[in-house]
A and B are shown apart, each in its own frame.
Chain A
Amino acid sequence: KNEVEQSPQNLTAQEGEFITINCSYSVGISALHWLQQHPGGGIVSLFMLSSGKKKHGRLIATINIQEKHSSLHITASHPRDSAVYICAVGRTDKLIFGTGTRLQVFP
């Protein structure tokens, strides 16, 4: 079993829909990161969480340390949100990654 599990693996949505991507982990962590990778490969950091909730524009990330679970929400989704979203957890000095959620948003 992977230490970091993401669900769903693939997600298709219509423009405007509310989207949720989940990340569960089985190890003690110091930080959790959400990353975005567009087709073409570049990786961008969206959030770093150690507790609570963060919001940036239409993106909201939450973490529940006791349940070892984090969610990434996208409100009013847009085709430009189409990308792979990756959850990564920081354990001691290392990062451990989930395998990603591929999101496609259609007009």
Chain B
Amino acid sequence: EAQVTQNPRYLITVTGKKLTVTCSQNMNHEYMSWYRQDPGLGLRQIYYSMNVEVTDKGDVPEGYKVSRKEKRNFPLILESPSPNQTSLYFCASSPGLFYEQYFGPGTRLTVT
């Protein structure tokens, strides 16, 4: 089954404790991206990757890191989380922006 998986689905953590949210796709897609969704602001792009070892900033990259060492995986790293990073995070993949976007189930992160 074609899918994008994210782990964990829910996470409560404390300020400053490094965390990683994993994202994996089984469709051999080149384009992968991370988004955050906040009430009233909608979805905003954090980082995206056009292919292995190629990543670029979206609109809200501050406080986040990503890596793309393998085509299927695109982890999101928060080196020192802060309360303003409390949000719902989505990973997505596709062959490119001219194609259907496949979204993961979301990760709800709370930073206290």
Q: Interface on A for B, CB 8 Å cutoff?
A: 30-31, 33, 35, 41-45, 48, 50, 86, 88, 90, 93-100
B48 and A48 contacting across the interface, CB-CB below 8 Å = no
B85 touches A (CB below 8 Å):
no
Residues of B within 8 A of A31 (CB): 97-98
The complex places the Cα of A57 from the Cα of B97 at a distance, in Å, of: 23
Whether B45 pairs with A44 at a CB distance below 8 angstroms is: no
User: With A86-B42, A93-B48, A98-B42 in contact, is A41–B88 under 8 Å at CB?
Assistant: yes
Q: Say which one of B16-24, B67-75, B76-84, B99-107 lies at the interface with A.
A: B99-107
B98-A95 in contact (CB<8A): no
Minimum distance in angstroms from B33 CB to a CB of chain A: 7
Among the listed B33, B43, B92, B97, which residue makes an inter-chain contact with A86, where contact means beta carbons less than 8 Å apart? B43
Chain A, Cβ-Cβ closest to B88: A41
**B 51-73 binary contact with A (CB < 8 Å = 1; else 0):** 00000101100000000000000
